[in-house]
Structure 1
Amino acid sequence: MHPALQGMLTIVIGVGACITYFWGSNQFLDKVLYPPKGPNAGRNINRANIIRPWLFLFPAVFALSLYLAYPVVETLRLSVTQRIPGGGSEFVGFDNYAQMFGEQKFWEAMRNNMMWLLVVPAVSTAMGLLVAQLTDRIRWGAIAKSLIFMPMAISFVGAAVIWKLVYDARPPGTEQIGVLNAIYVGLMDGEPQQWLTTPFWNNFFLMVVLVWIQTGFAMVILSAALRGIPEETVEAAIVDGANPFQVFFKIKVPQIMGTIVVVWTTITIVVLKIFDIVFAMTNGQWETQVLANYMYDKLFRSNDWGVGSASAMVIMLLVTPILVWNVYNARKEMR
């Protein structure tokens, strides 16, 4: 079947199934289970109204349980078991965790993830806030915002391929197709550099890719927050003699601090799960390993499901507090 036709058929079947389910569940509830007639009509209506929301929530709850809750439980089980020759598995307790903590590659991944956490959310949020403020003050701000937001439409792998070409290095004496090396050789008269194979600094070159993508996200959210600031507070500050920097840092930023925290924590969650960029550009070589790539190596290359699942649990434990904090701040912002 042609992919386009297959996609259309999937949409039709999916939408039709949803409509059929909601219509059928309503009919079953009102016509069979609790019909609104007879001496118990009032009680039936009340019971139907109590059950109806759960009928509507059931597909979502079932999907979340199947695709989120079950994988978490199964991953936890795999992290404390070990495959045995001939099939099956045996309980080994925390042996997989002990093996993982004893590997140098795991601590390299932890160190790099911490570096990503320190740099990417801070730089992305700061640049997003700066761009949001500056583009609101120029006539062609909407065009600038569109260009800056455009990387959000590119997949992480696509962005990695683009930036791998930017960092590309050709032998000395040949024309450089990598933009960074072309600039470096042309302006500094130096030798072409293998930017992605230079330990420590190559991590920052990888971070640039995610900052490039996430700045557009931060800009859109923070721009909306800046537009929501009451003009009266800004005008009052200007009347009192505040300069533009004081207006921005002492009047505007405090009023959108909740939104800044939400943006920061959202990008932090993305950073903790970062995989595509590292996998496509360095595959964790040259001291660029991160937790998600380490997990992938263990699960699908070494076929070590125990240690791979243990690393997945570590990622989940790192993400969960930040996710809870993010939800708390989002709800606080909505009050």
Structure 2
Amino acid sequence: MGQLASALVIVIVGVLGCACYFYGSNFLLDKLLPSKNKPYDVVARNLRIAGYIRPWLFLGPAFLALGFYLVYPVVESFRLSFFGRSGEVFVGLSNYAWLFNSDEFYQAFKNNMLWLIVVPTAATFFGLIIAVMTDRIWWGNIAKSLIFMPMAISFIGASVIWKFIYDFRSGDDPQIGLLNAVVVFFGGDPQPWITLPFWNNFFLMVILVWIQTGFAMVILSAALRGIPDETVEAAVLDGANGFQIFYKIMVPQIWGTIAVVWTTITILVLKVFDIVLAMTNGQWGTQVLANEMFDWMFRGGGDFGRGAVVAIVIMVLVVPIMVWNIRRANAEMEGR
């Protein structure tokens, strides 16, 4: 109850603070640039200047917050990448030299690339298939709601759920994990799924695919609704079967949306952290770049330089995809 009360107080104070800021700043602007009881030329000048300033009264706090929480960390990470463990001794390119000779980094980088290949492709594919199928049945909205539901769960919460699914008990202990219970029911031997070399990465990927399929389904379903009925009807009259209509008529018309969904999930995958941390903590060959950065930055005494270098790598991988995604989304909005 104490935490709930604190959260409620913070929300109230925050809302009132924002209201006081916007009211006070506009009141002060009107006082400094009055538009009443003044000559016409003065009024016109004041209104023009106030028109330039007023939008920034609203945008200014947002830009300050973005600068503090986004721009400053990037600049600081780049600076720290040239410094040693404590972030005080300049070491030049030593951290970058370590990066390209680190087996741990290459393992994390390889795992990230594996996630990039599997997760966006699988989530987009399943989302598209489900979007097409649920548009053809009367209970489609119910199915969509159930599939979208995992999006409401945090990555940590989803990881806890799937930990019970993958749970393994050695010896004669009863298997409480759903997957092992099914395996035992059919006469198989239970397996420690999240410790199996190589394959455990795929078991972790299933969690993110499970979460992101609902996102892909919703976006692609909206895109499918935008396909003109005339094109589908013409294909039917020409004798096209269901697969041909889907592959040659529907997919080409929503290809831009598919690309945006795919790249959006790709950006998320490049920053994946919670699932690996909660499920394996990077053990058994499951380490990824974000966890590698976290380990170097905050564990084992901390090494700000090496942690910052890994953070720079993640940023370099994310930024081009993000820029392309924004441009593609803008092109979609403009109908190109």
Q: What band does the TM-score fall into relative to the shorter chain? A: over 0.9
Which residue of structure 2 aligns with residue 244 of structure 1?
Answer: 242
Tell me how far 1:109 sits from its aligned partner.
0.2
Counterpart-to-counterpart distance in 2, 1:7 and 1:198: 42
> 1:173-200, CA deviations, whole angstroms, 9 ceiling, x for partnerless residues?
442111111222222x232111111111
Residue of structure 2 aligned with 1:196, choices 194, 197, 200? 194
SS at 1:90 equivalent? coil
1:95-134 → structure 2 map (5 Å cutoff): 95-134=94-133
Deviations 1:260-279 (A, max 9, x none): 11110010011000011111
* Residue 81 of structure 2: aligned partner: 79
Tell me the equivalent position of 2:22. Answer: 22
| Whole-angstrom CA distance in 2 between matches of 1:294 and 1:209 | 20
**Alignment partner, residue 329 of structure 1:** 328
CA drift at 1:151:
0.7
Residue in 1 that maps onto 2:71: 69
* Amino acid of the structure 2 residue aligned with 1:125: T
SS of residue in 2 equivalent to 1:180:
helix
Segment of structure 1 superposing worse, 140-149 or 11-20: 11-20
Residues 166 and 180 in structure 1, CA contact (< 8 A), matched pair in contact too: yes
CA distance in 1, matches of 2:85, 2:178: 48
Q: How big is the shift at 1:172?
A: 4.4
1:260 equivalent in structure 2: 258
C-alpha distance in 1, partners of 2:58/2:163?
A: 47
**Distance across 2 between alignment mates of 1:11 and 1:159:** 27
- Does the 8 Å contact 1:121/1:268 carry over to 2? yes
> When the two structures are aligned, how many residues end up with a matched partner?
331
TM-score by length of 2: 0.95
Range moving further from structure 2, 103-112 or 158-167: 158-167
Any conservation in 1 of the 2:85–2:306 contact (CA below 8 Å)?
no
Q: Percent identity?
A: 62
Distance 1:261 1:232 in 2: 24
The runs of 5 or more residues in structure 1 that have no matched partner are none
The question of whether the paired residues in 1 share the 8 Å contact of 2:33 and 2:47 is answered with no
- What do the CA deviations read for 1:267-308 (whole angstroms, capped 9, x no partner)? 001100001111111111111110001111101113111100
Q: CA RMSD in A?
A: 1.4
Aligned 8 A contact 2:35 2:46 in 1: yes
SS at match of 2:89: strand
AA matched with 1:110 = F
Give, in whole Å, the separation in 2 of the partners of 1:155 and 1:161: 10
Instruction: Identify which of 215, 226, 229 aligns with 2:213.
Output: 215
Per the alignment, do residues 43 and 258 of structure 1 end up closer, same or farther by CA in structure 2, a change over 3 Å counting?
Answer: same
Whole-angstrom CA distance in 2 between matches of 1:33 and 1:61: 24
> Shift in Å at residue 135 of structure 1?
0.7
Question: Is the Cα contact below 8 Å between 2:168 and 2:180 reproduced in 1?
Answer: yes
Query: For 1:1-335, what aligned pairs fall within 5 Å after superposition?
Result: 2-33=2-33, 35=35, 37-38=38-39, 39-83=41-85, 89-187=88-186, 189-302=187-300, 303-335=302-334
SS in 2 for 1:91: coil
User: CA contact under 8 A between 1:172 and 1:192: conserved in structure 2?
Assistant: no
- Could you tell me how far 1:34 is from its partner in structure 2? 5.1
- Hey, which bits of structure 1, 4+ residues long, moved more than 6 A? none
Secondary structure of 2:84 counterpart: strand
TM-aligned CA deviation for residue 79 of structure 1: 1.0
* Deviation (angstroms), 1:27: 1.8
Which TM-score applies when normalising by structure 1?
0.95
